[in-house]
Amino acid sequence: MSAHADSEVMFSGEPEYLDGYVPTSWDSQHSSLQRSLTWLGMALILVATAAAGLFVFGFASDSVGSQENGLMLGTVGGVLTVVILLTGFAFVHFGRSAYRDYKKRTGRVH
């Protein structure tokens, strides 16, 4: 058999796992780690820490009078934090939809 031969499909449909076996995350068809939406959501959640820093900086600098626009910076930081977090959580939720479908189809609990 050469490397250029047609590849055969070993099975079609869902693989059958033994009871108690948890498939690895990378090579499962239902893996959330292979979907870009999941990674974008996790990145947005991480980016929200920068917006939260702007929130803290704005209100802290306003309380001591070191920034002219402290209230505006704090408000913008708070709004950005909420919007970015909600978007990130939604992306992760939709990115994991294949896993939720897999759990519903197979009845697996883990």
**pLDDT by 10s per residue, the chain, length 110:** 455 555 555 555 666 666 666 666 666 666 777 788 999 999 999 999 999 999 999 999 999 989 899 999 999 999 999 999 999 999 999 988 888 887 788 777 76
pLDDT score recorded for residue 2: 54
- The domain locations on the chain are 37-106
Q: What span, in angstroms and rounded, lies between the C-alpha atoms of 100 and 107?
A: 10
pLDDT score recorded for residue 34: 78
Q: Give 31-35's long-range contacts (Cβ < 8 A, gap of 24+).
A: 31/98, 31/99, 32/95, 32/96, 32/98, 32/99, 35/95, 35/96, 35/98
pLDDT score recorded for residue 99: 80
This prediction's pTM: 0.72
